[in-house]
Amino acid sequence: MVAATIKDVAAAAGVGIATVSRVFSGTGAVGAATRERVLAAARDLDYHPSAVGRSLKTRRTGGVGLAVPDVTDPFCADVVAGVLDCARTLGQHVLLDATLGDPAREAEIADRFAEQRVDGVIAVPSGIGDPWSGFVRTGVPLVYVGRVPSCRDGGGTVPAVLADDAAGIRSAVEYLVGLGHRRVGFLGAPAPGTPPDVREDAFRAALSALGVPVDDDLVARARPTRDSAYAAAAGLLQRRSDLTAVLASGHLPGEAAVLVARELDLRVPADLSIAMVDDIAWAELADPPLTAVNRPARDIGHRACELAARGTVRRGPSGPVLLPTELIVRGSCGPAPSRRDRARH
Amino acid sequence: MVAATIKDVAAAAGVGIATVSRVFSGTGAVGAATRERVLAAARDLDYHPSAVGRSLKTRRTGGVGLAVPDVTDPFCADVVAGVLDCARTLGQHVLLDATLGDPAREAEIADRFAEQRVDGVIAVPSGIGDPWSGFVRTGVPLVYVGRVPSCRDGGGTVPAVLADDAAGIRSAVEYLVGLGHRRVGFLGAPAPGTPPDVREDAFRAALSALGVPVDDDLVARARPTRDSAYAAAAGLLQRRSDLTAVLASGHLPGEAAVLVARELDLRVPADLSIAMVDDIAWAELADPPLTAVNRPARDIGHRACELAARGTVRRGPSGPVLLPTELIVRGSCGPAPSRRDRARH
DNA sequence: CAACATCATGGAAACGTTTCCAGAAAAGGG
DNA sequence: CCCTTTTCTGGAAACGTTTCCATGATGTTG
């Protein structure tokens, strides 16, 4: 009923516990015959060395903590998959938890990870506050993923693995403007949040770089929920019926744009071109298939885990790791309709 | 640099370690003044009680192990979210790993969980073999989710939390037949796999219960990958152009059916009705929106975690927990076209 | 005020490992 | 055959907690 310990195995094999330990931890030399006897005894007793005993002594748990806003989100899920993938090759296990974007939960999770003495921490910060920076003081490798908290810790820079969102947005904007669009809407992150939205900034910058006037009225903001995204999209598209294209800064606003366009009987892409950030499964399935900016979520997770688990050398002011995005062109964007075309419809 | 221990706190507060322990574990009585001094010292030292020290003594780690085939799969992701949710309320943490449907990996993960001394295990078994049953001998609560392994352990029945797949399939079949469909295709799980597919069985049973002849040629099987599903769907729809409806036993074959129908210029639902199991996000987004059988994945995870973490009383031969499915009717199914209608197109 | 119950506290023994150290056995060299 | 080197092995001390037990200090009751 109760798990066998190293003592049981030692007794059964007629050896000292030190020998059993050497057999299982691989360190030190053990005679071939002895090793066999130990292994046999262990098999008989169904012995699994206790990680908690070991961790206490070695002061390493072999686990990394991973906190994401929501495992149900396809981007997060891919990040998790990447981390799991890498952790496996490194022989680490993964403690997962979901912050739900709530700073309070985030802090709880950070505490839990600290108690559990994880060897590394990977966090997709919620943006407000930073319960994670405490780990750098205790020497636990910490890696931010996807974004960095607004208020950074004072001293050393925390490593981060990010998608090159600015470049991704730029590529989408250039593509749309190249198709002749001048009045492009943007569905972005909430304004009240403290951190200025990188994507919105990139959107504005890309437009003005191309000589297209930027209109504050063209950007709508929503919290990361279906309802909020839908409301924002509906608001934007109704308010500005002159829009010929919309760029959604995530899959939720992208989904909302598709639904609202359908609702308003706008043909895609004849009346309205739609592009979004995050190339998730349904983008290909929609009708027409959606043009999207792909973020290498899985690679991001993989990379972050390497950094967190290997406890990489504390690098100086070298910036965050930026992974390239890719514009996946599908059928949802077309040439900008002339005003006459739109009126006809 | 190195984390403070209970001794450090005791020294700083000028008390014995037992007292510090009592303050943090909440057991036993501590004078108000002493408690304050201890808490202050702990705050100064940024002390987090070590879970590994505690676990060694109490022989409980406060963690549950969760193994799913693929966190990227929406169903699995929802299960994970449910588990996380429940674990949080129970004060447990979650060790997550992905089996990728590979029995070897599955066994590795089971070993890892055993080493980590998790307090409970939740597994979506791959179906072949059963590396999990070892836990029942060691008294670790084990719960299967989504399905049960083909070869069950001999003695006690392992609790399981499942969607009532048979009922779900039945409801879909009844719905389709009610619309007049007689030749309904089925996209199911691989045949070579040992366990007879519950859903396929239910499909056959439902059809014959309604007096519709079941034709072996109407069922196609695929492994759970996009490619395999697509091949199966293409094969089925080309081979049997007389089909008026298809029921996909998962979102991958569902996706495949949609794509193949589009490829073959079949109008949905005029030429072909499509329904699938798993009501995932894009079902509503597709055009037309897809009729689907919803499995309460989140609830399943929640429920499983309750069972696993509470170490519920070892019940006798009471069967698995069956959670109800729900048929979500959308626009992808219509009345069966007459042969003439189909020819006209 | 004596006798006793209650409360707050610290010492010390576990829990299951790893690892240092020292001793024994085996192997090799003259 | 003895001495040195190498290889193998076991004892014991950590690692950071919890918890039993004993002790001293209070408070209560007759």
- B28: in domain: yes
Residue A1, domain member (yes or no): no
The CATH number of whichever domain residue B14 belongs to comes to: 1.10.260.40
Chain A residues in contact with B93 (beta carbon < 8 A): 95, 97, 112, 116
Span B39-48, pLDDT tens digits? 999 999 999 9
Q: Exposure string (b/e) for B15-43, b if CB count within 10 Å is 16 or more?
A: beeebbbbbbeeeeebeeebbebbbebbe
**Is residue A121 predicted with pLDDT exceeding 90?**
yes
- The better pLDDT of the pair B213, B123 is held by B123
* Confidence band for A193, pLDDT divided at 50, 70 and 90: low
3-state secondary structure of B247: strand
**Cβ-contact B133, B153 below 8 angstroms:** yes
Whether A302 is covered by a domain: the verdict is yes
Instruction: Kindly report which listed range (A42-56, A172-186, A326-340, B94-108) carries the lowest average pLDDT score.
Output: A326-340
End-to-end Cα distance, chain B: 75
Asked, for residue B97, whether it belongs to a domain, the answer is: yes
Bases along strand C below 7 A from a protein CB: 7-12, 14-20
Cβ A19 to strand D below 7 Å: yes
> From start to end of A189-296, where are the E strands?
219-221, 245-248, 273-277, 291-294
Q: Concatenate the DSSP letters of all residues of A131-190 into one string.
A: TTTHHHHHT--EEEESS--SS--SSSPPPEEEE-HHHHHHHHHHHHHHTT--SEEEEE--
Residues A230 and A135 in one domain: no
Q: Judge if A236 and A332 occupy the same domain.
A: yes
CB contact at 8 A, A241 and A185: no
- For A176, the domain range is 165-295+327-344
Residues in chain B, overall count:
345
Whole-Å CA distances, A290 to A67, A180, A181, A301, B244: 30, 18, 17, 25, 28
For residue B338, the model assigns a pLDDT of 75
What mean pLDDT comes out for the span B135-159?
Answer: 80
**CA pair distance B114, A11, nearest whole angstrom:** 22
Which residues in chain A are contacts of B63 at CB distance < 8 A? 95, 116
Give pLDDT tens digits for B240-264. Answer: 999 999 999 999 999 999 999 999 9
CA of B17: nucleotide with nearest C1':
C10
CA A61 to C1' C7 (Å) is: 39
Residue B56 lies in a domain: no
Please tell me whether residues A156 and A73 are part of one structural domain: yes
A335 and A237 share one domain: yes
**Nearest C-alpha neighbor of B41 from the set B20, B59, B27:** B20
For residue B93, list its beta bridge partners. B63
As a whole number of angstroms, the longest Cα–Cα distance in chain B is 93
B58 touches strand D (CB under 7 A): yes
Task: Give the nearest chain B residue to A108 (CA atoms).
Answer: B88
Q: Are residues A179 and A269 in the same domain?
A: yes
- Residue B49 — φ and ψ, nearest 5°? -55, 140
Contact B137 A286 (CB under 8 A): no
One domain, residues B335 and B202: yes
Q: How far is A7 from chain B (nearest CA, A)?
A: 15
| Stretch B140-169: mean pLDDT | 84
Amino acid identity, residue A33? A
- Identity at A159, one-letter amino acid code: P
Shortest-distance nucleotide from B50 CA to C1': D16
- Does B242 lie in the same domain as B98? no
Please check the confidence at residue B25 and state whether its pLDDT lies above 60. Answer: yes
**Looking at the structure, do residues A93 and A140 belong to the same domain, yes or no?**
yes
CA of residue A39 to C1' of nucleotide C22, angstroms: 26
Residue B154 clears pLDDT 70, i.e. is over it: no
Q: Strands B93-98 and A93-98: what pairing?
A: antiparallel
Q: What is the mean pLDDT of chain A?
A: 90
Secondary structure tally for chain A: helices H, strands E: 14, 12
3-class SS at A285? helix
Please name the residue that has the structure tokens 């190195």. B2
Q: Which two tokens stand for residue A136?
A: 């750098």
- Find the CB nearest A93 among B2, B71, B97: B97
pLDDT score of B271 more than 80:
yes
Tell me the nt nearest to B19, Cα to C1'. C9
- Examine the domain organization and report whether B200 and B310 are in the same domain: no
Q: How confident is the model at residue A190 (pLDDT cuts 50, 70, 90)?
A: confident
The pLDDT, as a whole number, for residue B331 is 92
The whole-angstrom separation of Cα A214 and Cα A200 is: 11
Closest Cα partner for B185 from B126, B260, B127?
B260
In sequence order, which residues have a C-beta less than 8 Å from that of residue A247 and are 6 or more positions away? A169, A172, A173, A176, A184, A185, A186, A187, A203, A275, A276, A277
Q: Where are the beta strands (DSSP E) in chain B?
A: 63-68, 93-98, 120-123, 142-145, 160-163, 184-188, 219-221, 245-248, 273-277, 291-294, 321-323, 326-328
Q: What pLDDT is attached to residue A194?
A: 56
Same domain, A257 and A340: yes
- DSSP state at residue A51: H
Rounded Cα distance between B224 and A165, Å, is 32
Question: What element of type H or E holds B253?
Answer: helix B251-263
Structure confidence at residue B344 (pLDDT): 45
Distances (CA, A) of A136 to A61, A133, B52, B54, B96: 17, 6, 20, 24, 24
Dihedral angle at the C-alpha atoms of A234, A238, A240, A242, nearest 10 degrees?
110
Could you report the per-residue pLDDT of B189-222, keeping only the tens digit for each?
876 555 678 899 999 999 999 999 888 899 999 9
More confident residue, A343 or A113: A113
**A107 has pLDDT over 90:** yes
Name every residue whose Cβ is closer than 8 Å to that of residue A140 and which is 6 or more positions away in sequence. Answer: A114, A118, A119, A120, A121
Quickly state the pLDDT bin for B285 (edges 50, 70, 90): confident
- CATH number, position B70: 3.40.50.2300
* Mean pLDDT, range A272-296, rounded to an integer: 94
Mean pLDDT of all residues in A210-227: 91
Kindly state whether residues A211 and A68 are assigned to the same domain.
no
- How far, in Å, are A136, B234, B307, B328 from residue A255 at the CA level? 38, 28, 36, 19
Find, among A228, A204, A202, A199, the residue nearest to A217 by Cα. Answer: A204
Output the CA torsion B194→B197→B201→B203 (10° steps). Answer: -150
Count of other CB atoms within 10 angstroms of residue A228: 16
% pLDDT > 70, chain A: 92
Segment A54-64 mean pLDDT: 96
Q: How many domains does chain A contain in total?
A: 3
Distance A28 CA to C26 C1' (A): 17
Residue A182, C-beta contacts closer than 8 angstroms, at least 6 positions apart:
A212, A244, A336
Q: Mention every residue, 6+ apart, whose C-beta is less than 8 A from residue A139.
A: B1, B2
Give A208's pLDDT tier (boundaries 50, 70, 90).
very high
Q: Which nucleotide lies nearest residue A54, CA to C1'? A: C17
CA of B74: which chain A residue's CA is closest?
A72
Domain assignment of residue B57, yes or no: no
- CA distance linking residue B298 with residue B302, whole number of Å: 6
Cα distance between residue A179 and residue A291, in whole Å: 13
For residue A197, what are the contacts with CB-CB under 8 A and spacing of at least 6?
Answer: A188, A189, A191, A221, A249
Q: What is the pLDDT of residues A143-164, one digit of tens each?
A: 999 988 876 554 457 899 999 9
Residue type, B333: C
Report the percent of chain B where pLDDT is more than 90.
77
Note whether A173 and A138 are same-domain residues. no
pLDDT of residue B22: 95
- pLDDT at A28 (0 to 100): 77
Question: Can you give the pLDDT at residue B339?
Answer: 62
Strands A184-188 and A219-221, how do they pair?
A: parallel
Is residue B54 in a domain? no
A contact test, residue of B96, B108, B332 with most A CBs within 10 A:
B96
Q: Residue A12 CA to nucleotide D3 C1', Å?
A: 37
Q: Which of B3, B7, B14 is nearest to B37 (CA)?
A: B14
Instruction: Give domain status of residue A88, yes or no.
Output: yes
- The strand pairing partners of B64, in sequence order, are B94, B120
Q: How far is C-alpha A206 from the chain's CA centre? A: 24
Q: Which pLDDT value is given to residue B221?
A: 92
D30 C1' to A96 CA distance, Å: 62
Which chain B residues are closer than 8 Å to A94 by Cβ?
95-97
Mean pLDDT, range A55-61, rounded to an integer: 96
* Model confidence at A117: pLDDT above 90: yes
| In contact, B320 and B166? CB cutoff 8 Å | no
Choose from B8, B24, B48, B94 for mutation: most chain A CBs within 10 A: B48
- Whether A137 sits inside 8 A of B48 (CB atoms) is no
